[in-house]
Amino acid sequence: MNPVVALQALAGAHPDVRRWVIAYSGGLDSEVLLSAATQAFPVSSLLAIHVNHQLQDGAVAWSEHCRQRCTELNVAFVCVIVSPLSSSEQDARNARYQAFADHLGEGDALLMAHHADDQAETLIYRLVRGAGVRGLAAIPTERPFYSSKILRPFLSVSRRTLEAWAHEQHLNWIEDPSNKKEDYARNYIRLRVLPELQTRWPQVVGRLAKTASYMTEADKVLVEVAQQDLHSLLSKCESISVAPLLRLSIPRQHNVLRYWIHQRGGELDESSLQSIRKQLLCEQPSSSASVQVSKTHRICGYRQHLFYLPLTLPLIEVFERQLNMVAGTYTLETGILTIEGECLAIGSVTLIYRQGGERLRPRGRGGSVSLKQLLQEKGIPPWWRENWPVLMMGDTLVAVPSVCFTDNWPNECNLRVIWHPFGLSEEPFFATV
């Protein structure tokens, strides 16, 4: 397909785009993208962004080359200098995408020049790493990106086609010497693996691109199934109910768990999945069992529910706040306190977090009980119990939000005091008062 034709098709498919932003490295692929874009769109609607990673000796000269080329074409140009955490491909990519995000807004489309050979390389790379269906879907043709979107119009176009068009247009481009280093996995595939495959199967690049598109369709089906299953499994505290989960087939259990965790920023590899099965989906899971699924989060089980939690919960300092017993909402460090109704007769009460060792006489219970036992009886998970708020009148505990009032609470005050810990999207699954 002619690159200009591929770009012209975008205007009709994406009428909401007001500005076409080009990821412009100065290499062959992005040079074709930039030049074709000036023929497909009004130049006034274009912006080229060049990212200098400061990882190559010629980086400054490349930036200047790109600036001059954009000046020739009358295309707006931005050069962004970044400092990746390391020279690894992943860290350079993270820094580059953050640079793009900083310059994109609503109505922008970031055009990237990935082509069919890139798609084939990515598929092979992920295949040897043992990727699942989502990973084998490889590079998407489009996806949301913050308030904008990323579009890749050349994914069905081979590198040979782009290079032929570049020669026809008498284009000049930068040759990045790092692309010749075989110690990079993708370079090894590009320089050694793909040429061998193309010698034996000349159409392999196109066939691998088709496989990636099949995997994209399969992934969409799996996502739809996971969304349906998750809707029936999620409890009111954003946790998964174990009993209905186990009634699904094992492949559907795995599918919905992967989707649930992925939606929250984690990744469920095979080892973590099997740990969840052994530690949290067994007949008698330990109350202290947890499985780490990202650098910051873990899965914990409690009373036949699975929870997605931070690895470490925040340490709460001593807290004290005076409240008037009128309707309102109060946002605290660990959740939201809501008062429904009002009782002006008692004036203000003091809101604090529990300290441990408290005892109280819940209204209607007919005896004294420790707050720890009461929270356990109500089915409140242990990670929320430690920072549960209580209401005090002087030195007397008079109410535990969402749990009970005590015998010391005035009978004439008919209120609801609700504690909504962060991590709950709806009413708590435990009993409330």
Of 273, 316, 264, 260, the C-alpha closest to 295 is 264
Give the tens place of pLDDT for each residue, 388-407: 999 998 888 999 999 999 99
In the predicted model, what is the mean pLDDT of the chain? 89
Token pair, residue 223, equals 């996502």
Whether 29 has a binding-site annotation, put simply, is yes
Whether residue 149 has pLDDT greater than 60: yes
Whether 132 has a binding-site annotation, put simply, is no
User: What distance in Å separates the CA atoms of residue 40 and residue 20, rounded to the nearest whole number?
Assistant: 11
Whether 341 has a binding-site annotation, put simply, is no
Whether residue 258 has pLDDT greater than 90: yes
User: What distance in Å separates the CA atoms of residue 298 and residue 272, rounded to the nearest whole number?
Assistant: 10
This prediction has a pTM of: 0.75
Residue 346: count of CB within 10 angstroms of its CB: 15
Q: Could you tell me the CA-to-CA distances from 97 to 37, 122, 234 in Å, in that order?
A: 21, 18, 33
Which stretch of DSSP H or E encloses residue 195?
helix 194-200
Give the tens place of pLDDT for each residue, 4-31: 999 999 988 999 999 999 999 999 999 9
SS3 420: strand
Task: Please compute the mean of the pLDDT values over residues 317-342 and round it to a whole number.
Answer: 82
Give the tens place of pLDDT for each residue, 259-308: 999 998 888 889 999 999 999 998 888 878 889 998 889 999 988 899 99
State percent of the chain over pLDDT 90: 58
Give the tens place of pLDDT for each residue, 213-234: 999 999 999 999 999 999 999 8
Whether residue 346 has pLDDT greater than 60: yes
In the chain, domain spans:
3-206, 234-310, 320-421
User: What distance in Å separates the CA atoms of residue 329 and residue 317, rounded to the nearest whole number?
Assistant: 21
CATH superfamily of 3-206: HUPs (3.40.50.620)
State percent of the chain over pLDDT 70: 95
Residue 74: count of CB within 10 angstroms of its CB: 10
Architecture of domain 234-310: Up-down Bundle (1.20)
Q: Could you tell me the CA-to-CA distances from 60 to 81, 167, 428 in Å, in that order?
A: 10, 25, 57
User: What distance in Å separates the CA atoms of residue 296 and residue 302, rounded to the nearest whole number?
Assistant: 20
Instruction: Give the residues across from 149 on adjacent strands.
Output: 109, 144
- Mean pLDDT is highest, among 90-104, 281-295, 304-318, 330-344, for 90-104
Can you count the helices (H) and strands (E) in the chain?
Answer: 15, 20
pLDDT interval class at 379 (50, 70, 90): confident
> Which residue type is seen at 402?
S
Task: Please compute the mean of the pLDDT values over residues 136-165 and round it to a whole number.
Answer: 93
User: What distance in Å separates the CA atoms of residue 296 and residue 310, rounded to the nearest whole number?
Assistant: 6
User: What distance in Å separates the CA atoms of residue 63 and residue 51, rounded to the nearest whole number?
Assistant: 8
Of 56, 39, 48, 57, the C-alpha closest to 19 is 48
Whether 351 has a binding-site annotation, put simply, is no
By CB atoms closer than 10 A (0-12, 13-18, 19+), residue 288 is exposed
User: What distance in Å separates the CA atoms of residue 168 and residue 216, rounded to the nearest whole number?
Assistant: 34
